[in-house]
Structure 1
């Protein structure tokens, strides 16, 4: 009987020690931005208005976190409807064939206090490539107006549009090959 109780106690401790927690992006307090240089002299910025994101971790400091994001490309918004329509057509994203962009992490390495280097597969325009993003965990709090536990994250990185055959007819003198990605948001503990 003592052995059975001991085994149950160890099983309970193992389950609580390795329990994973999922955090979901709060769309009202999360933004997904991008920026690209136009004509080598100005930065054009935009955002995606529709997305889902989650972070799963068993460690409180997120050192073992797994990151997932699904972005609806038709929700692209640069503030200029004509430009948005052009970005949706086959010259660029071709949203009829490729309506989603996804990121799924494959590894996470702690680089400092609340700072991580996260590598994963970024897929859009029918192409999947590995990318590395810089992640900063800004802290975890209890929401002052309800019982939600919220963690704040800043995620940034760079991708090359040529890696995804995005706008191949537009030379770098018109649009930079480098595209900056920034995600800033709040993730709610589930």
Structure 2
């Protein structure tokens, strides 16, 4: 009888470990997600703009990061430089042509752990109707229950550097830098309905 009890206990512990190790699906929080990109303007300044999050899903497996993925849509309608005339100009055909290409998307193709809380996230970035592979250097800031939402939550930062001319957005290069520095910070939580299951 004791052997049977141990066998049942071992089975339950194994099931718990397996459940804990499974990939978890999170929804990115638009209120705590910023996709910032900056460029050099004629050598004088380094303006920054924010792309607001439309939708974003993050699947994260802390035990097996290769099973993780991210899929994000950024609507150009929410582009914000804090200068309304610049917002309008960046949405015009000589730059992003937002009427024709209203969204920017990123879909990961590979997630690789590189030690500690660092990851390489490779994916397809689509801007201005052009899709190119991009690698994000990501850092897991924190993973745990959100103190206010009471659901599992993760937070990441990520950085990369892009050439806008690669996406057909090369107006005024080199006076306005071709290179864009991208910095992302995000929080993502398990939707409450899913967390209750």
TM above 0.5: yes
- Counterpart of 2:189 in structure 1 is 188
Structure 2 unaligned blocks of 5 or more: 1-10, 192-197
Residues of 2 paired with 1:95 and 1:146: CA distance?
35
CA apart distance, 1:99: 0.3
Structure 1 residues 141, 39: CA separation in 2 closer, same or farther (over 3 Å shift)? same
- TM-score, normalised to structure 1, is 0.85
| CA positional deviation for 1:15 | 7.7
The 1:139–1:60 alpha-carbon spacing in structure 2 relative to 1, beyond 3 Å, is farther
In the alignment, the residues of structure 1 paired with residue 29 and residue 120 of structure 2 have an alpha-carbon distance, to the nearest angstrom, of 22
Question: SS at the partner of 1:107?
Answer: strand
Q: What stretches of structure 1 of length at least 5 have no aligned partner?
A: 1-8
Q: Is the CA contact (8 Å cut-off) linking 2:71 and 2:105 kept in structure 1?
A: yes
Which of these residues, 13, 21, 31, is aligned with residue 34 of structure 2? 31
Tell me which protein shows more strand as a share of its residues: 1
- Structure number with greater CO (CA < 8 Å, separation at least 6) is 1
Q: 1:18 to 1:151 in 2, by over 3 A?
A: closer
Instruction: Compute the displacement of 1:63 (Å).
Output: 4.9
TM-fit CA distance, 1:55: 1.1
- Residue in 1 that maps onto 2:179: 178
* Structure-1 separation of matches of 2:101 and 2:68: 28
